[in-house]
């Protein structure tokens, strides 16, 4: 059971008559990058704050590193790193001074220079935190979350507002945490982020877990039909096609269980009719499609 | 025993960085350090440094304790409210609470910083008064000066932490603090002797701690004062405000942003 870092059973958080979190179960294992997804107002932040020990729960059993976070003290906080969704740098302190301040809070902190290098802030050590760019501030935040050398790290929307290259850089930092053997609890709005980083994903919507799985299998993604789509050739009616198809604004879609055979059928038919199938696209549903389907039906 | 020493070391660690951040901040340097000194210089130049009253006390001997009260309040209340509210609303306090540092260490270090700043500026005022304006130093009543200033500083620190709970956004902190403090400075004998105020205004001032800090310091600085220089009635009122501030702070102070919605 030492392998289970986070264990949640029947977690419930009530605000007045509203169940913001309506009885959820979660399990995160050691060394895993676990992505927790959900639309705004779905109970995501409430759940994370309960796990971080910032909020009391109404009901249910929560164990993080074997301890109830609502009752946890300094020993527990020595083992947990928290990168909050929004937190400004320490006012008036340089990057190095911020790191020295936080290093002083922990029993066995990491090396400061090494941690600054890990998040890619070398050369910025003597810069005031307030003078860093948005992306650099976020890296400093991650560095402050790591300075205590935690076993478990909460990353709450770590790349919101990043440009694509800064996001890639942040991903490699998070990949680096996996190599260090850390457990990462990641919340994010970006499906590509979850797909690239996460070992497992859970989706929360309207206070309930609506799906859980790997990026490949989430929400039955692996068994979902592939979508073959193209623009309807001029002079051809939808009913003339060799396969059942639906149309939306001249764009035709065929849901296919056997994409290779169905593409061959369509190609043979088009050749025989002497037409092209413009803008042909064969696509497995993206994680984003699955996510929107899972969360959209509940709104 | 060693655990206790570690906690004290943590307070020293935190205080060191709080002081560093304080002196890096241009606003803090101006409003909390420079402004009381400028006030002293201006008041003495405008109103002269004549000997006043039947006992012939120099005007500067009146202004040094009055502006000292202002300096203590600027360091331990005004600056604290503005900086702590900003740190709460920008998530700085919440992130610190996610670390294993105990809450009381953070509070104690911030309080210590405020007291050190307030008493530090007061010392500068005292030295300036002594060497530039020939103010009589209250050597015999030094106990009264120190005790009154320390109790006053701690009272305003407690009131400061309590007051942050009434402020929702960091932008509101500065105007709210000034709206409370500026009128009190004027009716409490900080700038002008309050004998020239109408009776009812003096009665109003008697309720609030500013009057009692200023009065306690005036008395302790008065060359005619004998004994310790402590005015027990003033200390008593300051202690009551200290206790009230502490209770409100313990009940209402929060570490997480108030304005942000979850």
SS3 for A196? helix
Residues 46-75 of B with CB under 8 A from A: none
Sheet architecture: strand order including A281-283: A246-248, A251-256, A226-231, A281-283
Cβ contact A225:A255 at 8 Å: yes
Distances (CA, A) of B161 to A130, B7, B210, B245: 24, 21, 17, 8
Whether residue B24 lies within 8 A of chain A, CB to CB, comes out as yes
Residue of B nearest to A55 (CA): B256
Distance in angstroms (rounded) separating the CA atoms of residues A35 and A202: 6
Whether residue B223 lies within 8 A of chain A, CB to CB, comes out as no
Residue of B nearest to A107 (CA): B100
**Residue A94: its chain B contacts at CB < 8 A?**
none
Whether residue A78 lies within 8 A of chain B, CB to CB, comes out as yes
Region B220-237: mean pLDDT is 87
Compute the mean pLDDT over every residue in chain A, rounded to the nearest whole number.
90
ipTM: 0.89
Distances (CA, A) of B162 to A129, A216, B242, B258: 28, 52, 10, 14
Instruction: For residue A103, give the DSSP letter.
Output: H
**Residue A49: its chain B contacts at CB < 8 A?**
262
Query: Which of these ranges, A24-33, A160-169, B53-62, has the smallest mean pLDDT?
Result: B53-62
Interface probe with A: pick from B100, B260, B261, most Cβ of A within 10 Å: B100
Region A6-28: mean pLDDT is 93
Cβ contact A182:A212 at 8 Å: no
**Residue A52: its chain B contacts at CB < 8 A?**
98
Q: What is the pLDDT of residue A299?
A: 46
Instruction: For residue A218, give the DSSP letter.
Output: G
SS3 for A257? coil
The 3-state secondary structure of A14-46 reads EECCEEEEEEEEEEEECCCEEEEECCCCCCHHH
User: Tell me: the pLDDT tens digits for A28-84?
Assistant: 999 999 999 988 888 999 999 999 999 999 999 999 999 999 998 899 999 999 999
Q: What is the pLDDT of residue A297?
A: 59
Residue with tokens 């909020």: A55
Compute the mean pLDDT over every residue in chain B, rounded to the nearest whole number.
90
Region B12-34: mean pLDDT is 95
**Residue A54: its chain B contacts at CB < 8 A?**
94, 97-98, 256
Please say whether the dihedral angle defined by the alpha carbons of residues A208, A214, A220 and A225, taken in this order, is positive or negative. Answer: positive
pLDDT band for position A169 (50/70/90)?
confident
**Residue B10: its chain A contacts at CB < 8 A?**
104-105
Q: What is the pLDDT of residue B7?
A: 87
Cβ contact B184:B178 at 8 Å: no
Whether residue B260 lies within 8 A of chain A, CB to CB, comes out as yes
Whether residue B106 lies within 8 A of chain A, CB to CB, comes out as no
Contact A82 B13 (CB under 8 A): no
Contact B83 A80 (CB under 8 A): no
Whether residue B90 lies within 8 A of chain A, CB to CB, comes out as yes
């Amino acid at each position: 059971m030492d392998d289970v870092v986070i264990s949640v059973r029947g977690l419930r958080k009530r605000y007045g008559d509203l169940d913001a979190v309506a009885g959820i179960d979660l399990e995160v294992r050691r060394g895993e990058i676990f992505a927790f997804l959900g639309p705004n107002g779905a109970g995501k932040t409430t759940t994370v704050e309960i796990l971080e020990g910032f909020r009391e729960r109404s009901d249910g059993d929560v164990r993080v590193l074997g301890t109830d976070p609502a009752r946890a003290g300094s020993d527990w906080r020595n083992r947990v790193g928290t990168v909050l969704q929004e937190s400004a740098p320490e006012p008036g302190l340089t990057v190095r001074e911020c790191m020295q301040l936080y290093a002083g809070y922990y029993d066995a902190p990491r090396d400061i220079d090494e941690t600054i290098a890990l998040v890619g802030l070398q050369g910025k050590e003597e810069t005031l935190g307030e003078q860093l760019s948005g992306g650099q501030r976020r890296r400093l935040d991650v560095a402050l979350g790591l300075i205590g050398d935690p076993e478990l790290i909460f990353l709450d929307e770590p790349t919101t507002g990043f440009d694509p290259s800064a996001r890639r850089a942040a991903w490699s930092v998070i990949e680096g945490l996996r190599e260090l053997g850390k457990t990462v609890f990641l919340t994010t709005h970006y499906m590509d982020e979850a797909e690239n980083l996460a070992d497992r994903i859970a989706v929360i919507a309207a206070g309930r877990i609506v799906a859980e799985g790997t990026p490949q299998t989430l929400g039955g993604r692996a068994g979902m039909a592939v979508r073959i789509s193209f623009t309807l050739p001029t002079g051809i009616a939808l009913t003339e096609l060799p396969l059942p198809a639906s149309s939306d604004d001249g764009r035709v879609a065929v849901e296919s269980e056997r994409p290779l055979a169905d593409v061959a059928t369509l190609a043979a038919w088009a050749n025989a009719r002497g037409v092209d199938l413009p803008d042909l696209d064969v696509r497995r549903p993206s994680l984003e499609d699955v996510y929107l389907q899972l969360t959209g039906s509940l709104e | 025993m060693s655990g206790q020493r570690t906690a004290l070391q943590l307070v020293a660690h935190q205080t060191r960085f709080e002081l560093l951040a304080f002196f890096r901040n241009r606003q803090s340097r101006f409003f909390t350090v420079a402004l009381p000194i400028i006030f002293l210089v201006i008041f003495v130049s405008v109103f002269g440094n004549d000997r006043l009253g039947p006992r012939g006390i120099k005007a500067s001997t009146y202004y040094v304790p009055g502006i000292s009260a202002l300096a203590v309040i600027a360091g331990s209340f005004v600056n604290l409210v503005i900086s702590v509210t900003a740190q709460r609303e920008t998530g700085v306090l919440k992130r610190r609470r996610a670390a294993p540092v105990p809450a009381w260490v953070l509070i104690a270090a911030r309080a210590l910083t405020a007291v050190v700043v307030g008493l530090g500026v007061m010392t500068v005022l005292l030295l300036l008064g002594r060497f530039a304006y020939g103010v009589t130093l209250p050597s015999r009543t030094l106990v009264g000066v120190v005790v009154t200033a320390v109790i006053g500083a701690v009272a305003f620190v407690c009131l400061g932490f309590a007051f942050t709970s009434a402020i929702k956004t960091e932008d509101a902190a500065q105007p709210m603090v000034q709206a409370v403090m500026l009128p009190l400075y004027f009716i409490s004998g900080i700038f002008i002797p309050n004998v020239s105020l109408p009776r009812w205004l003096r009665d109003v001032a008697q309720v609030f701690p500013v009057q009692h800090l200023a009065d306690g310091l005036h008395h302790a600085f008065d060359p005619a004062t004998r004994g310790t220089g402590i005015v027990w009635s003033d200390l008593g009122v300051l202690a009551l405000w200290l206790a009230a501030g502490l209770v409100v702070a313990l009940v209402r102070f929060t570490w997480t942003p108030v304005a942000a919605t979850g």
